[in-house]
Amino acid sequence: MAGLDIFLQNIANGVLMGGVYALIGIGLTLVFGVMRTINFAHGDFVVLGMYSAVLFNALLGWDPYLSLLLAMPIGFFAGVIVERFILSRVIDAPPESALLATLGISLIIGNAILLTFGGEPRSVQVPYASSTFSVAGVNISMVLLLAGIATVIMIAALYALLNRTEVGRAIRGTAENRLGAELVGIDTRRIHSIVFGLGVMLAVMAGVTLIPLLFATPTNTGAVFTLKAFVVTVLGGLGNVGAAIAGGILLGVVEVLGASYFMSEYREAYGLIAFLLILLFRPEGLFGRTVKRV
Amino acid sequence: MTKHLIGLGVLLAVGIAYPAIFPNNLTIAISVLLFAGWATSWDLLGGWNGQVSLGHASFVGLGAYLVAIGQSQFGLAPWWTMAMAAAVAAVLAYLWGWLTFSLRGPYFSLSTIAVAEILRLVAINEEWLTGGATGVFIATLPEPFGVDLFSRTAQFYMALAFAAVVIATIIVISRARFGYQLRAVREDEDSAMAAGIDPTATKLKAFMLSAALTSIGGGIYGIVLAFIEPHVIFALLLSVQIALTAIIGGRGTIWGPAVGALVLIGAGEIFRTTFAEANMLIYGILILVVVLFVPRGIVGELARRHIRRLYAKRAQG
């Protein structure tokens, strides 16, 4: 029975952690699906969210979840501005141009944070940081549970936005066929800005929910999150929001199970190995439409 | 082609005289030369063949680690381990390319980051081989013909030879059949296939050559550092730096990556005191400027203007 308990515990942790990964991955996959751009700055926006929580906590003494009220709109508008002034100018250039532009944005964000906050790891102390409660012998950490709940709410809101509103229809239309969307009167430039804003907002939100759990450092953490977001989206299938959720949870579970049953030092590597295996056997992602190999 | 070979000859002549003229500025010259070599190797794949790699630090690390481990644990001389590194890098590139090159789209760029990251984790965790997070130290080196390989002058000449060999390779390839195949695949894979070129094989060859050359430079870097830490040598930032050096200088040009190395290392040195550890900020700003305003890079833009002037003159005359 003890083995089963540990297994259930691992699954619970993996699923909750995976929820946050899914949140990060959805932002990336949404931007890719609509703009066909891989956003290399995505992880840095997550880190920006973490630091915004640190900042609001230091200045106003706010709890990270309270600072979401300000951080999310700011993230959205930051994303819109970045898209308007940088990405919209390279959208018709060869695809690497947009990729390189986001790489530049990533370097600028990471190093600007480094100049502002210094290099030492930062975090926010919350009173519920170490509180847990148990369900059927499985201990669940309060921080992870809150992150999980926030993820579910956000995904539900996003689902409603994409499927129940006019803007959502326009976003889906632009993702499917940009020219077609323009022909029926959709302002795809506006849609691109909105989508990039949404992507940044999701990244910032993930960062804020993670800060009670992880330390933020300016440059390295960003790259780690960007990589995780890639893994999540490729696991599920690039450009597919539902698949990113499944990919995120899968990554969380694979990491936790790998770390607890094989070698814990390689925790970060399991997701990457899964990613390479997916590339090898099913590059369209576990849930994507089949693409033909050349 | 002769023009470029003359240019290379001038570079070599200046390089050979350099340590006598500026004996105190050797370290920065070594990094310019190493980056020129790496960026040119990267450009073989990224510029001439259009496959953007963000994992070239894996090959740098492979070379550096093989040289360091070979020397400290097995007493192997660096030239043997560098040859081994080139072979291992080519094999790694083959397997990796075989995995990803048959796919179109961003898959290759994405996988390069993952592979470099896995190598970094291996280097940190396999302490018996790599010394773990603390790294490996090169304590002794053989002295071929009485040359002390720890002296900066000897290291400078090694870096110079490396950069010259890589640039010579690009000059030869630019006019060879292979060079035209590379560019054909970059421009349009379907048309290249229609012309009888196998895109996957071409990309594989370019990647293997690029990887082998980069790892030789990595071996020299290992000797220069004499102390190899996984966080530094497998860092995503190093991969990004290599790629950006080539792109800012001018992708798919012969001298672009070398010019990029000179500009970027120089800029990094000038702003080192201003931004301290945040000196990658310069790279971020420069890459945005290049992508938005000079998409061909420094040398690419100069070449375009030169060609336009030539045509204008011909049209007048």
CB contact under 8 A, B103 and A111: no
One DSSP character per residue, B150-196 reads: TSHHHHHHHHHHHHHHHHHHHHHHHTSHHHHHHHHHHH-HHHHHHTT
| pLDDT of the residue at A287 | 63
Instruction: Give per-residue pLDDT as tens, A87-105.
Output: 888 877 777 788 889 989 9
Closest residue in A to B127 (Cα–Cα): A265
pLDDT in tens, chain B (317 residues): 788 888 888 888 888 887 778 777 788 888 899 999 999 999 999 888 888 888 898 899 899 988 888 887 787 888 888 888 999 999 999 988 887 777 666 778 777 887 888 888 888 877 777 777 677 777 777 777 767 777 788 889 889 999 999 999 999 998 899 989 998 988 888 888 888 888 889 999 999 999 999 999 999 998 888 888 887 777 778 888 898 889 888 888 888 899 888 888 888 777 766 666 677 788 888 888 888 888 888 888 888 888 888 888 888 87
What is the reported pLDDT for A46? Answer: 92
Does A105 sit within 8 Å of B278, measured CB to CB?
no
R_g over Cα of chain A: 19
Cβ separation A101–B287 shorter than 8 A: yes
| Chain A residues with at least one Cβ partner in B under 8 Å | 38, 86, 89-90, 93, 95-97, 99-101, 103-108, 110-112, 114-115, 119, 219, 223, 227, 230-231, 234, 238, 263, 265-266, 268-269, 272-273, 275-276, 279-280, 283, 291, 293-294
Domains, in order of start, for chain A: 2-111+139-281 (1.10.3470)
Q: Which pLDDT tens digit goes with each residue over A119-145?
A: 788 877 777 777 777 776 777 778 888
Mean predicted confidence (pLDDT) in A272-289: 71
Could you say which of A38, A97, A107 has the minimum Cβ distance to residue B283? A107
The domain segmentation of chain B, as residue ranges, is 2-236
Q: Identify the pLDDT of residue B33.
A: 92
pLDDT at A291: 47
Using the beta-carbon criterion (under 8 Å), do A108 and B288 form an inter-chain contact?
A: yes
Q: What DSSP designation does B105 have?
A: S
pLDDT of B88 reads 92
- Residues from chain A that touch B277, judged by Cβ atoms under 8 A, are 114, 119
Three-state SS at B72: helix
CA distance B288 to chain A (A): 6
Instruction: Collect all residues of chain B within an 8 Å Cβ-Cβ radius of residue A101.
Output: 287-288, 291-292
ipTM: 0.79
A3-12, A57-66, B52-61: least confident range: A3-12
Q: How far apart are CA A28 and CA A23, in angstroms?
A: 9
Distance from the Cα of B15 to chain A's closest Cα (Å) equals 32
